[in-house]
Amino acid sequence: MKTLEPIEAARIIDRMNGGLEGPDVVETLDLRGVQAAMLKRGILYIAGTNEFSDWFEFNFDFIHDRAPDAHGFRMAPGDSGALWHAGFLEHAQIVYAFAKPQKPAFIIGHSLGAASAQIVGASLGVPTLAFGSPRTLHGRAHFGREGFVLNVCRIDDTLCHLPPRFLGFRHLGSVHWLNPPAGDVEEGHSIASYIEALEGDLPAGFPRAWPPTA
């Protein structure tokens, strides 16, 4: 398999239902609240937030001793020296140690799993599809092989706008925004809401398969 369609990736995430069980599961990671699974066809699935406590440990990793100009999101340097949202970096480092020897062909994730997928995918140079992605990197400098990363975000998904851009955070890789379907009044963060949007009319230039030049 040389490419993966975003709609197929989203449906795989939906079938996994935030867990690690299924007929396609080959090997799993479940460590310190971090969950991932190698699936058949070489797909690495990174689970999103599994418990309420995960949001505090990884997603809402606030600085504890704020300086007067501190923005509230704790940052940490990676091995490359790049500055990251500290909680997302910690999560990704655990997944990276699991993923590297597995040599995945694709990486997929949603929510917290999408944050981790961005970092792992850009570090390994593996085609990555991230849904409902928060911003992970602080600064404008190009990182690693971030061209392998596709972020799929709904404009009504609050998490995709955090941490705020004006604080210096950005997504890794390319970002393609989806509009909510007509009449959809609920916030579109669930993977089901992404499937619904992907099944509708897609914006011009939206990649139907990833990577587009494979």
Per residue in 182-191, pLDDT tens?
A: 766 667 889 9
Q: Which CATH class is domain 6-198?
A: alpha beta
Would you state the pLDDT for residue 1?
Answer: 59
Query: For the residues 136-149, what does the mean pLDDT come to?
Result: 92
Residue type, 144: G
Question: Is pLDDT of 149 > 90?
Answer: yes
Would you state the pLDDT for residue 185?
Answer: 60
Would you state the pLDDT for residue 70?
Answer: 47
Would you state the pLDDT for residue 65?
Answer: 41
Would you state the pLDDT for residue 75?
Answer: 80
Average pLDDT value over all residues in the chain: 87
Would you state the pLDDT for residue 57?
Answer: 55
Q: Which is higher by pLDDT, 76 or 194?
A: 194
In the chain, where the domains are located: 6-198
Would you state the pLDDT for residue 48?
Answer: 86
CB 197 within 8 A of CB 119: no
Q: What is the pLDDT of residues 48-78, one digit of tens each?
A: 864 444 555 555 553 444 443 344 578 888 8
